[in-house]
Amino acid sequence: MHFHVVTLFPELFASVIDATMLKKGRERGALHFSFYDIRTYATDKHRVTDDTPYGGGQGMVMKPEPLTAAIEATGSGAARPRRVLLCPQGRPLDQTKVLELAARPAGAARPRR
């Protein structure tokens, strides 16, 4: 199984993988990981990936252009992997959902909600 991870901090994943069961899966050749640094896909000189919210306010928001480019870099067409986008506001990724995703054939489109 191959995991494509799109993140601002790819270097943080090495310690997680090496400290968990993922390490054994990788050593046995059952798991493979590719990391995509969102900053690589920013087009400005300073590789900025965030911006102030439209209309003002506190905090920062992700720029859609580098994020979309990084996600698209994982593959397209027949080579496009299944994408699971995680966010704090989304549904929890529980065992039931994992089994549902695993039962889908490769390349199957996501049902729309």
Q: What is the pTM of this model?
A: 0.76
Averages of pLDDT over runs of 10 residues in the chain (113 residues) are 92 92 94 95 94 87 94 87 84 90 72 52
52-66 per-position pLDDT tens digit: 888 888 888 999 999
If you write DSSP's letter for every residue of 14-40 in order, what string do you get?
HHHHHTSTHHHHHHTTS-EEEEEEGGG
Fold adopted by 2-103: Alpha/beta knot (3.40.1280)
**Contact between residue 104 and residue 75 where contact means Cβ atoms under 8 Å apart:** no
CA distances from 17 to 22, 46, 104 (A): 5, 29, 26
